[in-house]
Structure 1
Amino acid sequence: MKILLLEDEYTLRKSIKELLEESGYVVEEYSEGKAALEAIFNSKFDLLLLDVNVPGINGFELLESLRKNGIDTPTIFITSLTEIDSLEKGYDLGCCDYIKKPFDMKELKLRVASALRLASLRSNKDTIKLPGGYEYHTKCFTLTRNNEEIGLSKTEKMILDLFIKHKNQVVTPEMITEYVWDDYVDPANVRVQINNLRKKLDKDLIKNIRGVGYKLEA
Protein backbone atom coordinates (compact mmCIF):
# COMPACT_ATOMS: atom_id res chain seq x y z
CA MET A 1 0.00 0.00 0.00
CA LYS A 2 1.31 3.43 -0.99
CA ILE A 3 0.60 6.50 1.14
CA LEU A 4 1.27 10.17 0.46
CA LEU A 5 2.06 12.22 3.54
CA LEU A 6 1.78 16.03 3.49
CA GLU A 7 3.08 17.60 6.70
CA ASP A 8 5.28 20.69 7.02
CA GLU A 9 6.48 20.02 10.57
CA TYR A 10 9.72 18.11 10.03
CA THR A 11 9.87 16.08 13.24
CA LEU A 12 6.24 14.98 13.06
CA ARG A 13 6.53 14.13 9.36
CA LYS A 14 9.55 11.93 9.96
CA SER A 15 7.89 10.20 12.93
CA ILE A 16 4.75 9.41 10.91
CA LYS A 17 6.80 8.18 7.95
CA GLU A 18 8.87 5.90 10.20
CA LEU A 19 5.76 4.50 11.90
CA LEU A 20 3.99 3.72 8.64
CA GLU A 21 7.03 2.21 6.96
CA GLU A 22 7.56 -0.04 9.99
CA SER A 23 3.95 -1.17 9.44
CA GLY A 24 4.77 -2.19 5.87
CA TYR A 25 3.48 0.84 3.94
CA VAL A 26 5.36 2.72 1.24
CA VAL A 27 5.36 6.42 2.12
CA GLU A 28 6.15 9.48 0.02
CA GLU A 29 6.56 12.61 2.15
CA TYR A 30 6.01 16.25 1.20
CA SER A 31 6.22 19.49 3.15
CA GLU A 32 4.28 21.79 0.81
CA GLY A 33 1.03 21.45 -1.10
CA LYS A 34 2.04 22.12 -4.69
CA ALA A 35 4.63 19.34 -4.81
CA ALA A 36 2.17 16.94 -3.17
CA LEU A 37 -0.54 17.81 -5.69
CA GLU A 38 1.80 17.20 -8.63
CA ALA A 39 2.83 13.85 -7.15
CA ILE A 40 -0.78 12.74 -6.81
CA PHE A 41 -1.55 13.65 -10.41
CA ASN A 42 1.54 11.74 -11.59
CA SER A 43 1.27 8.61 -9.46
CA LYS A 44 -1.30 6.37 -7.82
CA PHE A 45 -1.67 6.36 -4.03
CA ASP A 46 -3.90 4.21 -1.84
CA LEU A 47 -4.28 6.85 0.88
CA LEU A 48 -3.53 10.53 1.43
CA LEU A 49 -2.57 11.95 4.83
CA LEU A 50 -2.88 15.72 4.56
CA ASP A 51 -2.07 18.47 6.99
CA VAL A 52 -4.27 21.51 6.34
CA ASN A 53 -2.04 24.48 7.10
CA VAL A 54 0.96 23.88 4.86
CA PRO A 55 2.91 26.25 2.57
CA GLY A 56 1.54 26.91 -0.91
CA ILE A 57 -1.66 24.99 -1.61
CA ASN A 58 -3.27 24.07 1.71
CA GLY A 59 -4.79 20.68 2.42
CA PHE A 60 -8.38 21.78 1.80
CA GLU A 61 -7.48 23.37 -1.55
CA LEU A 62 -5.51 20.30 -2.55
CA LEU A 63 -8.36 17.89 -1.86
CA GLU A 64 -10.86 20.17 -3.60
CA SER A 65 -8.67 20.17 -6.73
CA LEU A 66 -8.39 16.38 -6.66
CA ARG A 67 -12.12 15.81 -6.34
CA LYS A 68 -12.85 18.24 -9.19
CA ASN A 69 -10.49 16.19 -11.36
CA GLY A 70 -12.15 12.89 -10.49
CA ILE A 71 -9.44 11.60 -8.13
CA ASP A 72 -11.22 9.97 -5.19
CA THR A 73 -8.25 8.58 -3.24
CA PRO A 74 -9.24 8.09 0.44
CA THR A 75 -8.00 11.04 2.48
CA ILE A 76 -7.36 11.63 6.17
CA PHE A 77 -6.72 15.15 7.45
CA ILE A 78 -4.17 15.52 10.24
CA THR A 79 -4.57 19.00 11.67
CA SER A 80 -4.61 21.23 14.71
CA LEU A 81 -7.87 22.82 13.53
CA THR A 82 -10.67 22.06 15.96
CA GLU A 83 -13.51 24.35 14.89
CA ILE A 84 -16.64 22.50 13.80
CA ASP A 85 -16.71 24.57 10.58
CA SER A 86 -13.27 23.26 9.65
CA LEU A 87 -14.30 19.68 10.35
CA GLU A 88 -17.45 20.15 8.29
CA LYS A 89 -15.48 21.63 5.39
CA GLY A 90 -13.10 18.68 5.35
CA TYR A 91 -15.91 16.16 5.19
CA ASP A 92 -17.79 18.20 2.59
CA LEU A 93 -14.68 18.10 0.39
CA GLY A 94 -14.60 14.32 0.65
CA CYS A 95 -12.20 13.28 3.38
CA CYS A 96 -12.93 9.99 5.11
CA ASP A 97 -11.47 10.85 8.52
CA TYR A 98 -10.02 13.60 10.69
CA ILE A 99 -7.20 13.24 13.24
CA LYS A 100 -6.68 16.21 15.54
CA LYS A 101 -3.20 17.14 16.72
CA PRO A 102 -1.71 16.15 19.04
CA PHE A 103 -2.53 12.47 18.54
CA ASP A 104 -1.17 9.12 19.63
CA MET A 105 0.79 7.31 16.93
CA LYS A 106 -1.06 4.10 17.70
CA GLU A 107 -4.34 5.90 16.97
CA LEU A 108 -2.95 7.10 13.63
CA LYS A 109 -1.92 3.56 12.73
CA LEU A 110 -5.41 2.24 13.53
CA ARG A 111 -7.13 5.02 11.57
CA VAL A 112 -4.92 4.40 8.52
CA ALA A 113 -5.61 0.65 8.58
CA SER A 114 -9.35 1.27 8.91
CA ALA A 115 -9.45 3.76 6.03
CA LEU A 116 -7.56 1.40 3.74
CA ARG A 117 -9.78 -1.54 4.67
CA LEU A 118 -12.97 0.41 3.92
CA ALA A 119 -11.53 1.72 0.66
CA SER A 120 -10.69 -1.82 -0.39
CA LEU A 121 -14.27 -2.97 0.24
CA ARG A 122 -15.68 -0.08 -1.81
CA SER A 123 -13.14 -0.61 -4.56
CA ASN A 124 -14.11 -4.25 -4.99
CA LYS A 125 -17.74 -3.20 -5.58
CA ASP A 126 -16.81 -0.46 -8.04
CA THR A 127 -14.22 -2.41 -10.03
CA ILE A 128 -14.82 -4.72 -12.98
CA LYS A 129 -12.02 -7.15 -13.74
CA LEU A 130 -11.24 -7.72 -17.42
CA PRO A 131 -8.99 -10.22 -19.22
CA GLY A 132 -5.28 -9.48 -19.34
CA GLY A 133 -5.10 -7.99 -15.85
CA TYR A 134 -7.16 -4.91 -16.70
CA GLU A 135 -9.54 -3.36 -14.18
CA TYR A 136 -12.28 -0.87 -15.02
CA HIS A 137 -13.30 1.52 -12.24
CA THR A 138 -16.92 2.47 -12.67
CA LYS A 139 -16.96 5.50 -10.35
CA CYS A 140 -14.13 7.40 -12.03
CA PHE A 141 -14.35 5.80 -15.51
CA THR A 142 -10.69 4.78 -15.53
CA LEU A 143 -8.91 1.69 -16.80
CA THR A 144 -5.86 0.35 -14.98
CA ARG A 145 -3.45 -2.52 -15.40
CA ASN A 146 -1.14 -3.56 -12.57
CA ASN A 147 -2.28 -0.41 -10.73
CA GLU A 148 -1.13 1.82 -13.61
CA GLU A 149 -3.79 3.90 -15.34
CA ILE A 150 -4.13 3.54 -19.11
CA GLY A 151 -4.27 7.03 -20.62
CA LEU A 152 -7.53 7.40 -22.52
CA SER A 153 -9.16 10.40 -24.17
CA LYS A 154 -12.66 11.46 -23.13
CA THR A 155 -14.12 9.85 -26.27
CA GLU A 156 -12.18 6.62 -25.69
CA LYS A 157 -13.44 6.50 -22.09
CA MET A 158 -17.04 6.84 -23.24
CA ILE A 159 -16.61 4.12 -25.86
CA LEU A 160 -15.03 1.81 -23.30
CA ASP A 161 -17.83 2.55 -20.83
CA LEU A 162 -20.36 1.48 -23.47
CA PHE A 163 -18.44 -1.75 -24.08
CA ILE A 164 -18.34 -2.43 -20.33
CA LYS A 165 -22.10 -1.97 -20.08
CA HIS A 166 -22.55 -4.42 -22.95
CA LYS A 167 -19.66 -6.79 -22.24
CA ASN A 168 -19.89 -10.10 -24.09
CA GLN A 169 -22.46 -8.52 -26.41
CA VAL A 170 -22.08 -7.05 -29.87
CA VAL A 171 -21.90 -3.26 -29.92
CA THR A 172 -22.81 -1.75 -33.27
CA PRO A 173 -21.33 1.45 -34.74
CA GLU A 174 -24.80 2.97 -34.46
CA MET A 175 -24.87 2.28 -30.72
CA ILE A 176 -21.47 3.92 -30.33
CA THR A 177 -22.53 6.99 -32.32
CA GLU A 178 -25.68 7.45 -30.26
CA TYR A 179 -23.96 6.91 -26.91
CA VAL A 180 -20.88 9.05 -27.51
CA TRP A 181 -22.04 11.81 -29.82
CA ASP A 182 -25.85 11.64 -29.78
CA ASP A 183 -25.74 12.95 -33.34
CA TYR A 184 -24.60 11.94 -36.81
CA VAL A 185 -20.88 11.25 -37.07
CA ASP A 186 -18.95 10.06 -40.10
CA PRO A 187 -18.61 6.24 -39.74
CA ALA A 188 -14.92 6.63 -40.58
CA ASN A 189 -14.49 8.74 -37.44
CA VAL A 190 -16.10 6.01 -35.34
CA ARG A 191 -13.68 3.46 -36.77
CA VAL A 192 -10.72 5.74 -36.04
CA GLN A 193 -11.76 6.15 -32.40
CA ILE A 194 -12.26 2.39 -31.99
CA ASN A 195 -8.85 1.68 -33.53
CA ASN A 196 -7.20 4.26 -31.25
CA LEU A 197 -8.75 2.56 -28.23
CA ARG A 198 -7.77 -0.93 -29.38
CA LYS A 199 -4.14 0.15 -29.89
CA LYS A 200 -3.92 1.00 -26.18
CA LEU A 201 -5.22 -2.42 -25.13
CA ASP A 202 -4.14 -6.03 -25.59
CA LYS A 203 -4.79 -7.39 -29.04
CA ASP A 204 -8.28 -8.86 -29.37
CA LEU A 205 -9.57 -7.56 -26.03
CA ILE A 206 -12.09 -5.75 -28.21
CA LYS A 207 -12.92 -8.03 -31.10
CA ASN A 208 -14.08 -6.90 -34.51
CA ILE A 209 -17.24 -8.77 -35.46
CA ARG A 210 -17.11 -8.40 -39.21
CA GLY A 211 -20.09 -6.66 -40.73
CA VAL A 212 -21.84 -6.27 -37.37
CA GLY A 213 -19.75 -4.32 -34.86
CA TYR A 214 -17.45 -5.03 -31.93
CA LYS A 215 -17.43 -7.11 -28.76
CA LEU A 216 -15.58 -6.81 -25.45
CA GLU A 217 -15.16 -10.33 -24.13
CA ALA A 218 -15.03 -10.35 -20.34
Structure 2
Amino acid sequence: MNALKHMKILYVNDRNSDEEYGVSELKDYCNNIIISNNSINAIEVYKEEKPEIVIYSISFPKIKEEEFIKQIKSINKDAQVIITTEHIDKKKLYNAINFHLIKYLAYPFNMNSLLDSLNECIKSIDSHTSNIIKLSDSLTYDKFNRTLLKNNELISLSEKETNFFDILVKKRDRAISYEEFNQIIWHGEMTKDALRSIVKDLRKKIDKTIIKNVSGIGYRLDI
Protein backbone atom coordinates (compact mmCIF):
# COMPACT_ATOMS: atom_id res chain seq x y z
CA MET A 1 0.00 0.00 0.00
CA ASN A 2 3.03 2.32 0.13
CA ALA A 3 2.60 3.35 -3.52
CA LEU A 4 -0.97 4.48 -2.85
CA LYS A 5 0.22 6.91 -0.16
CA HIS A 6 2.10 8.90 -2.79
CA MET A 7 -0.73 9.00 -5.35
CA LYS A 8 -2.90 12.07 -5.88
CA ILE A 9 -6.58 11.09 -6.05
CA LEU A 10 -9.47 13.30 -7.18
CA TYR A 11 -12.73 12.18 -5.57
CA VAL A 12 -15.77 13.59 -7.38
CA ASN A 13 -19.02 13.32 -5.44
CA ASP A 14 -21.95 13.97 -7.78
CA ARG A 15 -24.56 12.07 -5.74
CA ASN A 16 -26.67 15.00 -4.45
CA SER A 17 -25.49 13.98 -1.01
CA ASP A 18 -22.97 15.17 1.54
CA GLU A 19 -21.89 11.55 1.99
CA GLU A 20 -18.39 10.94 0.71
CA TYR A 21 -18.57 7.19 0.36
CA GLY A 22 -15.35 5.51 1.47
CA VAL A 23 -13.28 8.71 1.58
CA SER A 24 -12.70 8.73 5.34
CA GLU A 25 -11.36 5.17 5.20
CA LEU A 26 -9.34 5.94 2.08
CA LYS A 27 -7.50 8.71 3.92
CA ASP A 28 -5.83 5.97 5.98
CA TYR A 29 -4.14 4.74 2.80
CA CYS A 30 -3.61 7.91 0.76
CA ASN A 31 -2.10 11.22 1.86
CA ASN A 32 -3.37 13.35 -1.00
CA ILE A 33 -7.11 13.25 -1.71
CA ILE A 34 -8.80 16.19 -3.44
CA ILE A 35 -12.60 16.36 -3.10
CA SER A 36 -14.97 17.99 -5.59
CA ASN A 37 -18.74 18.04 -5.12
CA ASN A 38 -19.43 19.14 -8.66
CA SER A 39 -18.51 17.22 -11.81
CA ILE A 40 -18.35 20.42 -13.86
CA ASN A 41 -15.88 21.99 -11.44
CA ALA A 42 -14.01 18.67 -11.24
CA ILE A 43 -12.85 19.03 -14.85
CA GLU A 44 -11.09 22.29 -13.98
CA VAL A 45 -9.70 20.76 -10.79
CA TYR A 46 -8.33 17.86 -12.83
CA LYS A 47 -6.59 20.23 -15.25
CA GLU A 48 -5.01 22.16 -12.39
CA GLU A 49 -4.10 19.36 -9.98
CA LYS A 50 -3.29 16.59 -12.50
CA PRO A 51 -4.18 13.69 -10.17
CA GLU A 52 -3.08 10.19 -11.15
CA ILE A 53 -6.47 8.64 -10.28
CA VAL A 54 -10.10 9.84 -10.43
CA ILE A 55 -12.93 8.28 -8.42
CA TYR A 56 -16.26 9.49 -9.83
CA SER A 57 -19.21 8.87 -7.50
CA ILE A 58 -22.42 9.36 -9.45
CA SER A 59 -26.16 9.30 -8.81
CA PHE A 60 -27.70 12.48 -10.25
CA PRO A 61 -24.73 13.78 -12.25
CA LYS A 62 -24.51 17.32 -13.56
CA ILE A 63 -22.47 15.80 -16.38
CA LYS A 64 -23.38 12.35 -17.69
CA GLU A 65 -20.65 9.85 -16.89
CA GLU A 66 -19.85 9.28 -20.58
CA GLU A 67 -19.25 12.99 -21.12
CA PHE A 68 -17.26 13.30 -17.91
CA ILE A 69 -14.99 10.40 -18.90
CA LYS A 70 -14.54 11.78 -22.42
CA GLN A 71 -13.48 15.15 -21.03
CA ILE A 72 -11.01 13.58 -18.59
CA LYS A 73 -9.60 11.33 -21.32
CA SER A 74 -9.28 14.30 -23.69
CA ILE A 75 -7.00 15.93 -21.11
CA ASN A 76 -5.06 12.73 -20.41
CA LYS A 77 -5.78 9.65 -22.53
CA ASP A 78 -4.05 7.48 -19.90
CA ALA A 79 -6.18 8.81 -17.03
CA GLN A 80 -7.08 6.19 -14.45
CA VAL A 81 -10.80 6.39 -13.65
CA ILE A 82 -12.96 4.40 -11.24
CA ILE A 83 -16.74 4.91 -11.39
CA THR A 84 -18.89 4.22 -8.31
CA THR A 85 -22.61 4.01 -8.98
CA GLU A 86 -26.00 2.79 -7.75
CA HIS A 87 -26.15 -0.18 -10.11
CA ILE A 88 -24.24 -1.75 -12.98
CA ASP A 89 -25.96 -2.80 -16.20
CA LYS A 90 -24.70 -4.10 -19.53
CA LYS A 91 -24.22 -0.60 -20.88
CA LYS A 92 -21.91 0.27 -17.98
CA LEU A 93 -19.88 -2.92 -18.50
CA TYR A 94 -19.59 -2.00 -22.17
CA ASN A 95 -18.46 1.50 -21.19
CA ALA A 96 -15.81 0.05 -18.89
CA ILE A 97 -14.16 -1.55 -21.91
CA ASN A 98 -14.92 1.22 -24.39
CA PHE A 99 -13.42 3.91 -22.13
CA HIS A 100 -10.58 1.74 -20.75
CA LEU A 101 -11.90 2.19 -17.23
CA ILE A 102 -10.43 0.26 -14.36
CA LYS A 103 -13.73 -0.53 -12.66
CA TYR A 104 -17.40 0.21 -12.09
CA LEU A 105 -18.18 -0.36 -8.41
CA ALA A 106 -21.83 -0.66 -7.32
CA TYR A 107 -22.98 0.56 -3.89
CA PRO A 108 -22.56 -0.81 -1.35
CA PHE A 109 -18.99 -1.98 -1.85
CA ASN A 110 -16.35 -2.72 0.76
CA MET A 111 -13.01 -1.02 1.19
CA ASN A 112 -11.14 -4.03 -0.16
CA SER A 113 -12.94 -3.73 -3.50
CA LEU A 114 -11.97 -0.08 -3.76
CA LEU A 115 -8.36 -0.81 -2.77
CA ASP A 116 -8.18 -3.60 -5.38
CA SER A 117 -9.34 -1.15 -8.03
CA LEU A 118 -6.82 1.47 -6.90
CA ASN A 119 -4.00 -1.07 -6.97
CA GLU A 120 -4.94 -1.97 -10.54
CA CYS A 121 -4.73 1.74 -11.39
CA ILE A 122 -1.22 1.84 -9.93
CA LYS A 123 -0.19 -1.23 -11.94
CA SER A 124 -1.44 0.42 -15.13
CA ILE A 125 0.40 3.63 -14.30
CA ASP A 126 3.64 1.77 -13.54
CA SER A 127 3.53 -0.51 -16.59
CA HIS A 128 1.94 1.98 -19.03
CA THR A 129 -0.52 -0.77 -19.98
CA SER A 130 -4.28 -1.06 -19.91
CA ASN A 131 -6.53 -3.65 -18.29
CA ILE A 132 -8.26 -3.82 -21.70
CA ILE A 133 -6.80 -6.40 -24.09
CA LYS A 134 -7.58 -6.53 -27.81
CA LEU A 135 -7.56 -10.25 -28.62
CA SER A 136 -8.62 -10.00 -32.26
CA ASP A 137 -10.48 -7.71 -34.64
CA SER A 138 -13.75 -8.82 -33.05
CA LEU A 139 -12.83 -9.73 -29.44
CA THR A 140 -11.91 -7.39 -26.56
CA TYR A 141 -11.36 -8.50 -22.97
CA ASP A 142 -11.31 -6.49 -19.74
CA LYS A 143 -9.11 -8.56 -17.45
CA PHE A 144 -9.97 -6.63 -14.27
CA ASN A 145 -13.76 -6.62 -14.70
CA ARG A 146 -13.55 -10.01 -16.46
CA THR A 147 -15.91 -8.98 -19.25
CA LEU A 148 -15.73 -9.96 -22.91
CA LEU A 149 -16.98 -8.11 -25.98
CA LYS A 150 -17.48 -9.57 -29.44
CA ASN A 151 -18.11 -7.03 -32.20
CA ASN A 152 -18.91 -4.48 -29.49
CA GLU A 153 -21.56 -6.73 -27.93
CA LEU A 154 -21.19 -7.96 -24.36
CA ILE A 155 -20.90 -11.77 -24.24
CA SER A 156 -22.72 -13.49 -21.40
CA LEU A 157 -20.50 -16.12 -19.77
CA SER A 158 -21.18 -18.56 -16.95
CA GLU A 159 -18.95 -18.42 -13.87
CA LYS A 160 -16.86 -21.40 -15.00
CA GLU A 161 -16.63 -20.07 -18.57
CA THR A 162 -15.43 -16.75 -17.15
CA ASN A 163 -12.85 -18.44 -14.93
CA PHE A 164 -11.61 -20.63 -17.79
CA PHE A 165 -11.29 -17.75 -20.26
CA ASP A 166 -9.70 -15.48 -17.66
CA ILE A 167 -6.93 -18.04 -17.08
CA LEU A 168 -6.34 -18.33 -20.82
CA VAL A 169 -6.02 -14.57 -21.22
CA LYS A 170 -3.80 -13.94 -18.19
CA LYS A 171 -1.47 -16.80 -19.16
CA ARG A 172 -1.76 -16.29 -22.91
CA ASP A 173 1.97 -16.68 -23.48
CA ARG A 174 1.76 -20.44 -22.89
CA ALA A 175 -0.47 -23.52 -22.82
CA ILE A 176 -2.46 -24.13 -19.62
CA SER A 177 -2.39 -27.73 -18.43
CA TYR A 178 -5.48 -29.79 -17.62
CA GLU A 179 -4.22 -30.02 -14.05
CA GLU A 180 -4.04 -26.24 -13.71
CA PHE A 181 -7.66 -25.88 -14.82
CA ASN A 182 -8.57 -28.70 -12.46
CA GLN A 183 -6.98 -27.04 -9.43
CA ILE A 184 -7.96 -23.42 -10.14
CA ILE A 185 -11.56 -23.89 -11.35
CA TRP A 186 -12.72 -27.29 -10.07
CA HIS A 187 -10.50 -27.51 -6.97
CA GLY A 188 -9.38 -31.03 -7.83
CA GLU A 189 -12.78 -32.44 -8.87
CA MET A 190 -12.75 -31.84 -12.64
CA THR A 191 -13.78 -34.40 -15.22
CA LYS A 192 -12.54 -34.29 -18.81
CA ASP A 193 -16.17 -34.08 -19.98
CA ALA A 194 -16.76 -30.98 -17.83
CA LEU A 195 -13.72 -29.27 -19.31
CA ARG A 196 -14.65 -30.21 -22.88
CA SER A 197 -18.17 -28.86 -22.29
CA ILE A 198 -16.77 -25.47 -21.19
CA VAL A 199 -14.54 -25.29 -24.27
CA LYS A 200 -17.36 -26.33 -26.61
CA ASP A 201 -19.77 -23.71 -25.22
CA LEU A 202 -17.14 -20.95 -25.31
CA ARG A 203 -16.22 -21.71 -28.91
CA LYS A 204 -19.89 -21.34 -29.88
CA LYS A 205 -20.06 -17.93 -28.21
CA ILE A 206 -16.81 -16.40 -29.42
CA ASP A 207 -14.70 -18.09 -32.10
CA LYS A 208 -14.05 -21.73 -32.91
CA THR A 209 -10.38 -21.13 -33.62
CA ILE A 210 -9.23 -18.86 -30.79
CA ILE A 211 -9.13 -21.62 -28.14
CA LYS A 212 -6.51 -24.12 -29.27
CA ASN A 213 -6.10 -27.63 -27.91
CA VAL A 214 -2.46 -28.49 -27.21
CA SER A 215 -2.22 -32.27 -27.45
CA GLY A 216 -1.31 -33.97 -24.20
CA ILE A 217 -1.04 -30.66 -22.31
CA GLY A 218 -4.23 -28.57 -22.28
CA TYR A 219 -5.43 -25.37 -23.96
CA ARG A 220 -4.08 -21.98 -24.98
CA LEU A 221 -5.30 -18.87 -26.77
CA ASP A 222 -4.37 -18.74 -30.46
CA ILE A 223 -3.95 -14.99 -30.93
Normalised by the size of structure 2, how large is the TM-score? 0.49
Q: Which residue of 1 aligns with 2:183?
A: 178
Q: Which residue of 2 aligns with 1:209?
A: 214
| TM-superposition CA deviations, 1:55-81 (whole Å, max 9, x none) | xxxxxxxxxxxxxxxxxxxx9643554
The residue type paired with residue 198 of structure 2 is Q
The residue type paired with residue 114 of structure 1 is I
CA gap of 1:148–1:92, structure 2 versus 1, over 3 A, is: farther
Q: Which residue among 51, 72, 78 is the counterpart of 1:114?
A: 72
Stretches of structure 2 that go unaligned for 5 or more consecutive residues are: 1-10, 27-33, 45-61, 82-98, 103-128
- Does 1:78 pair with 2:14? yes
Instruction: Please give the secondary structure, in 1, of the residue aligned with 2:141.
Output: strand
CA–CA distance in structure 1, aligned partners of residues 218 and 15 of structure 2:
54
- Does 1:169 pair with 2:159? no
Instruction: Name the one with the larger helix percent.
Output: 1
Q: Which residue of 1 aligns with 2:141?
A: 136
Instruction: Please give the secondary structure, in 2, of the residue aligned with 1:215.
Output: strand
Stretches of structure 1 that go unaligned for 5 or more consecutive residues are: 1-74
* CA contact 2:12–2:38 (8 Å) conserved in 1: no
Q: Which residue of 2 aligns with 1:44?
A: none
RMSD between aligned residues: 3.7
* CA contact 1:207–1:215 (8 Å) conserved in 2: yes
Instruction: Please give the secondary structure, in 2, of the residue aligned with 1:125.
Output: coil
CA gap of 1:191–1:183, structure 2 versus 1, over 3 A, is: same
Normalised by the size of structure 1, how large is the TM-score? 0.50
Q: Which residue of 2 aligns with 1:64?
A: none
State the identity as a percent: 24
Q: Cα offset for 1:114?
A: 1.6
* CA contact 2:100–2:132 (8 Å) conserved in 1: no
The residue type paired with residue 212 of structure 2 is K
Q: Cα offset for 1:93?
A: 11
CA gap of 1:173–1:76, structure 2 versus 1, over 3 A, is: same
- Does 1:153 pair with 2:158? yes
* CA contact 1:127–1:137 (8 Å) conserved in 2: yes
| TM-superposition CA deviations, 1:64-117 (whole Å, max 9, x none) | xxxxxxxxxxx9643554x4xx13x275899x975449x78x966795512675
Q: Cα offset for 1:129?
A: 1.3
Q: Cα offset for 1:177?
A: 1.1
The residue type paired with residue 165 of structure 1 is K
